[in-house]
Amino acid sequence: MKTKRIDKREEGIGVVEPQYYTIDSLMLESGEKLGQVTLAYETYGALNENKTNAVMVLHALSGDAHAAGLDTERKNPGWWDSMIGPGRAFDTDKYFVISSNVIGGCKGSTGPSSVNPATGRHYALDFPIVTINDMVDAQKRLIDHMGIDKLLTAAGGSMGGMLALSWLVRYPDRIRSAIPIATAIKHGPQQIAFNEVGRQAIMADPHWNSGNYYGGPPPAKGLAVARMIGHITYMSDLSMEEKFGRQRKNGNEPFKFTADYEVEGYLRYRGDSFVKRFDANSYLYITKAMDNFDATELRPLQDSLQGQKTKVLVIAFKSDWLYPAYQSKEIVKACKRSGIETTYCEVDSTYGHDAFLLEVEEETHLISHFLKKVFHEYETA
């Protein structure tokens, strides 16, 4: 009788416990100081003796520290579980993977829903404005705490790609490579516009109460609408046609203002489920941080990257109209002009912006080969 060979990629990581690190204080780009900053994070795999195999994966707007494995409460898989684990793109038999919830978030890291130790009340809108760079500064403090001198890579999609670019510009001596996926050097007016409509939907909800809704009903309707708007931008025209078409939910039922079409029901479900796991004020703060991010704010990106020895892998998706491929090509152009070794891949996907979470096979092929080369050069340097 033959023994069935088990693919290591099917094993996964198992149940993962969240961890927490508290920073005494963090100076923000605004000049304000944020005291007692807690970062929620998870790690997967083992840090090697020389601490050369550390990888930071960076989440998107609605993500959190739970990137892989199963959480302790509901046994839900992490947001990038298909990419992290034994034999996967971020192979935990080789690499030590770190994922932290950004400051301003609501899944364990300090944000507007946290209690201000100075007042004993929720921060709400007293929470200071934070930037993408502030989020990276906090993550840098985390790897300092871990005793990691250099990250093998900083990788992420969407807002995670912005965080990767911030690592590249802000701490080039602390990373060996960066993998920005489906992202941009800075938001264009259309991206800012979509975020602003979402913010206005939240603030128009009477339960928002100028951000002071903690202890009472949250602005659920407003946050749900904001998420519905977001989901439309994450998909492509073709993926929506293939998934929903004009299929009705209620058969021959006469027209009324209910979710008659499958796509309407899907958006309402997504909006309602998002409200149960995300804080409305965090949505405001994080989307504003994304809109304010500009990797060229101080000087052209190619000048900021001049003389670096880091390597960069940029991935874009042809059907992504929220972060179109031309924005990724702008990153590539700046990197190449600065002399950085850069690889660009444009994946022919129909999934739209969501492709960075769904095109697992293609991304695994690209990332695993890229990391293998970077790691080998790091170890033999």
Q: How many alpha carbons lie under 13 Å from residue 130 in its C-beta half-sphere?
A: 30
Nearest alpha-carbon partner for 24 in 11, 39, 44: 39
Distance CA 372, CA 71 (A): 29
Distance CA 138, CA 25 (A): 10
- 207 in active site: no
Cβ 321 vs Cβ 211: under 8 Å: no
Side chain identity at residue 176, one-letter code: R
Distance CA 335, CA 342 (A): 7
* H or E segment and range at residue 98: strand 96-100
Q: Which of 236, 328, 353, 354 is catalytic?
A: 353
Crossing angle of helices 159-170 and 280-292, in 10° steps, is: 50
- 349 in active site: no
Q: Which of 134, 205, 320, 354 is catalytic?
A: 320
Nearest alpha-carbon partner for 205 in 221, 228, 224: 221
Angstrom CA distances, 73 to 63, 66, 272, stand at: 17, 12, 20
Distance CA 379, CA 53 (A): 9
Q: Which of 62, 158, 177, 338 is catalytic?
A: 158
How far is Cα of residue 243 from the mean position of the Cα atoms in its chain?
A: 24
Residue 229 region, left (φ>0) first, then alpha (ψ -120 to 50), else beta?
alpha
- Give the catalytic positions in this structure: 158, 320, 353
